[in-house]
Structure 1
Amino acid sequence: MTTDKPYLSGHYTPVPDELTATELTVEGTLPPELTGRLLRNGHNPKPGVTPTHWFKGSGMVHGIRLREGRAEWYRNRWVHTPALDGAPYMTERGPDLTASPAGTHIIEHGGRLLALCEANLPFELTRELETVGAHDFGGKLRTAMTAHPKQDPVTGELHFFGSSPFPPFLTYHVADAKGEIVHSAEIPGASASLKHDFAITRHHVVFIEGNVTFDPTEHSGIPYGWSDRQPARIGVMPRGADGARGIRWFSIEPGNMLHVSNAYEDGQGRVVLEGPTVDREGFRLSWNWWVGAPGRGTEPNARSYTRRWVTDLAAGTVDEQIIDDLAVEFPTLNEEYLGVENRYQYAVSFPDEKGFGRYGIVKYDRTTGGRRIREIGDARLPSEAVFVPADGATHEDDGYLLTVVSDLKQDASQLLVLDAAGLDQIATVHLPRRVPAGIHGSWVPDSALEGDAG
């Protein structure tokens, strides 16, 4: 495929069709507790379609079924939304929340598989990745849904939000463990700033507003852009039915964060938030890559550095600093530690704006301040590293990292299973095709899909 669009070339070159392959070749030994599905979503426009922005490419989910030491199948399926067949998002009656790329993330909650894109309703898929249709939680969801909901590891509740460039700018929702929405509230003080991700702690919900905000003059199809007039802020809201009344907004330094690493309350009751962040120049390089404009970097994450904010609610202050000089994105962790202080975090490393550095999987030790990098190899790009706990785990990093590698030299892909403690490679599953670089995904154990037989 010949194109000047970086998001349609190299590691991001779309595949032209859907296929299913069974009994995949495994090197090494798959741990028996890896019985379930690794599901990975990303943008994959149909042949002949050139979207004006990477984010507008139609969603395609890739799935790998593991069971009792075998790799039973690989399959990939487009998420069949109205947008896949050309339906517009904007209509005479306003936005059509079902006209979704559905290409950002896929999660399981309440026994349902949901493909997500932040400007739209989620789309439910079957266990074989066929599309069921838009899911509005029985009519209770009347806003879009973030692609980054948070499942509380203690209660099983799913916390999420819907954002809009028009009032109400931000609506917060909570669904119970069965998947029923039990609480919704409009959040006062929010703006039209792009809100892609957020965080929960044991006692708070944390929203992030950066300098990227609604821009009706942007013609890429994604109407957002950097604005020095848009204040960067953190909103800290108490959890609970009346939490919206108590939200407080705190000014922070200019920047934009797409993905949260984690947040928690420290021993002094301060709210600690971490995640990769770009400055104005980093956003410019990323945006030009996403739209295929001149003046772009080689990667959209070339100036994405991990930042930490410590919000002192009593003093009304925020201390912030860049805590690592490695260009990274797609942070993950053992999600049993979501919302509480964690020691270990993982991410994907990228070459920086000058081309220094290589693709790899990074492990951070927040106690020692150290980091370890497992380089994946020349022309090999790993996907977001999904953590799966080991049976009988006694330490935070007792488990496995699952990452799908796009290998340009071999025109192939593999699922790598790494030991999360030392980043040693345990097993390799050879896939029947090269899987394009995507965005986010989830490990879905069979226990989450009751009665799973296939």
Structure 2
Amino acid sequence: MTTAPHLAGNYAPVTEELTATDLPVTGQVPAALTGWYLRNGPNPQDAASGHWFFGDGMIHGVRLEAGRAVSYRNRWIRTRTFTDGASLRDERGNLDLTAGSANTHVIRHAGRTLALVESSYPYELTLAGEHALDTVGPHDFGGRLTTAMTAHPKTCPTTGELHFFGYGMADEPYLTYHRADADGNLVISRAVEVPAATMAHDFNLTAAHVVFMDLPVVFDRALAGSGTMPYRWDDGHGARLGVLRRDDPHGLVRWFPVDPCYVFHTLNAHDDGDRIVLHVMRYPELWRRDEHGATAKTDATLWRWTIDLRTGTVREEQLDDRPAEFPRVDDRLTGLPARHGHTTAGGTLRRHDLRTGRVSTHDFGPGRTPGEAAFAPADEVAGGAGWLLTYVHDAATDRSDLVILDADDLAAPPVATVHLPGRVPQGFHGNWLADH
């Protein structure tokens, strides 16, 4: 029997939760880095799942302190699905948002560390001492959150507010915008009218606007319960961007058509006078099924969309024709002009100068595959010096390292390589969470 690709190689789940201290290091961990590097990803506890997106969430964390790699640990997130086998829909069809995998992202806001998946509530984790990465439980903002929560919320660096949305599948409203204040209180929830249930994985935030993406990957009831993703490409749905002013959160959403495509991940967005500039990883299509049910593979490339609020048009430009994914910026520039962005492509990381188009690359070498790279700042200057942190799998040893690169000199050898006691499977998203 052939093993499914999402359960083979470095996509295969690990079976143990490990704790290791005083990790060996090649090079020198920067003394300025004190905190946790955390990354989330699917790791089915029964070593089986119908799709890569479905596995139980597992957090992999490395603790750095003043030049030392203090510890590594990995922990499954104890959702109700993990512990009790709970389903998003019970036998009567009722929605249970405390069920889910919590397997996609991990963020910090208002003192809480949250593991996220877009189908349900976030789950809070602790970072305290010997209980670090243990599960606290589901978080619904004191009962005020009544929808699922995207795995890609945005924290405004100016206000400290957390902007996010939830999307529905079988139930309306199909899209709901939320905002939590800097103290973690959910203060705004409003429905956004869209014609169908689409897979809205990410969105865009600027200093003055929220931009939603209504794209033609739609929920298919016939695929629900099939063990695979219940979404398909729909040529009849169209593609458009919805702009909401942040100072009028219950006001009109203006819609701007774009060429049909799909976007899992946005790099960043910012205002430019009467224009909004978005940088996204664009797929020409996704999950188009032929008469036999098969889907063609397509790749994402870096594009820029410029929305002209006066003319009601969008200029669409491809900035790089090479496949890549997992775009990141210095998070202190979320919603603001950022000169540099970073993407992952095969065995490399790329640093894109969004002003000049210049691209620098770090090649990890044969058989060494990085994941998403998070930016860790070196000083208080947003967009200034810093490091990129990523887990890298080595096929020759079947082990993984935490690799730290100088973001301003990406082609240089790693600043430090922290050798881990085991393998970190390919996963999704994470963050550098510095101590404050």
2:210 equivalent among 196, 205, 211: 205
Q: Which amino acid aligns with 1:365?
A: D
1:263 equivalent among 269, 292, 298: 269
1:333 equivalent among 319, 326, 329: 329
Q: TM-score, normalised by structure 2?
A: 0.93
Residue 342 (str. 1) matches residue 338 (str. 2): yes
Residue 224 (str. 1) matches residue 211 (str. 2): no
Alpha-carbon distance in 1 for matches of 2:204, 2:188: 17
Q: Which amino acid aligns with 2:30?
A: P
Q: TM-score, normalised by structure 1?
A: 0.90
User: What's the offset of the Cα at 1:397?
Assistant: 4.1
Residue 385 (str. 1) matches residue 384 (str. 2): no
Q: Secondary structure at the match of 1:259?
A: strand
Alpha-carbon distance in 2 for matches of 1:317, 1:243: 22
Alpha-carbon distance in 1 for matches of 2:344, 2:250: 34
Instruction: State whether residues 231 and 287 of structure 2, in contact with CA within 8 Å, keep that contact through their aligned partners in structure 1.
Output: no
Instruction: State whether residues 361 and 375 of structure 1, in contact with CA within 8 Å, keep that contact through their aligned partners in structure 2.
Output: yes
The ranges of structure 1 where at least 4 consecutive aligned residues each deviate by more than 4 angstroms after the TM superposition are 293-297
Instruction: State whether residues 123 and 139 of structure 2, in contact with CA within 8 Å, keep that contact through their aligned partners in structure 1.
Output: yes
The equivalent residue for 2:11 is 12
Residue 143 (str. 1) matches residue 147 (str. 2): yes
User: What's the offset of the Cα at 1:137?
Assistant: 0.7
The equivalent residue for 2:158 is 154
The equivalent residue for 2:113 is 113
Alpha-carbon distance in 2 for matches of 1:42, 1:20: 18
Q: Secondary structure at the match of 1:260?
A: strand
> Residues 358-397 of structure 1 correspond to what in structure 2 (within 5 A)?
359-391=347-379, 393=381, 396-397=383-384
The equivalent residue for 2:191 is 186
Instruction: State whether residues 363 and 372 of structure 1, in contact with CA within 8 Å, keep that contact through their aligned partners in structure 2.
Output: yes
The equivalent residue for 1:422 is 409
Structure 1 segments unaligned to the other structure (5+ residues): 351-358, 448-454
Alpha-carbon distance in 2 for matches of 1:135, 1:295: 36
- State how many pairs are aligned: 423
Q: Secondary structure at the match of 1:18?
A: coil
Instruction: State whether residues 194 and 214 of structure 2, in contact with CA within 8 Å, keep that contact through their aligned partners in structure 1.
Output: no
Instruction: State whether residues 330 and 347 of structure 1, in contact with CA within 8 Å, keep that contact through their aligned partners in structure 2.
Output: yes
Instruction: State whether residues 175 and 192 of structure 2, in contact with CA within 8 Å, keep that contact through their aligned partners in structure 1.
Output: yes
Residue 276 (str. 1) matches residue 276 (str. 2): no
The one-character-per-residue Cα deviations of 1:132-181 (angstroms, maximum 9, x if unpaired) are 11101110111100000000001111011111123111111111111111
Instruction: State whether residues 397 and 420 of structure 1, in contact with CA within 8 Å, keep that contact through their aligned partners in structure 2.
Output: no
Instruction: State whether residues 41 and 439 of structure 1, in contact with CA within 8 Å, keep that contact through their aligned partners in structure 2.
Output: yes
User: What's the offset of the Cα at 1:189?
Assistant: 3.8
> Residues 404-443 of structure 1 correspond to what in structure 2 (within 5 A)?
404-423=391-410, 424=412, 425-443=414-432
Q: Which amino acid aligns with 1:102?
A: A
The one-character-per-residue Cα deviations of 1:369-393 (angstroms, maximum 9, x if unpaired) are 1111111121221111100110254
Q: Which amino acid aligns with 1:326?
A: R
The one-character-per-residue Cα deviations of 1:382-418 (angstroms, maximum 9, x if unpaired) are 111100110254x724100001101111111111110
User: What's the offset of the Cα at 1:309?
Assistant: 1.0
User: What's the offset of the Cα at 1:193?
Assistant: 1.6
Alpha-carbon distance in 2 for matches of 1:380, 1:210: 34
Structure 2 segments unaligned to the other structure (5+ residues): none
Moved more, 161-170 or 148-157: 161-170
The one-character-per-residue Cα deviations of 1:209-258 (angstroms, maximum 9, x if unpaired) are 21111111222343211111111110011003x33322101111011000
Residue 37 (str. 1) matches residue 36 (str. 2): yes
2:434 equivalent among 433, 438, 445: 445
Alpha-carbon distance in 1 for matches of 2:399, 2:258: 43
Q: Secondary structure at the match of 1:253?
A: coil
The equivalent residue for 2:77 is 79
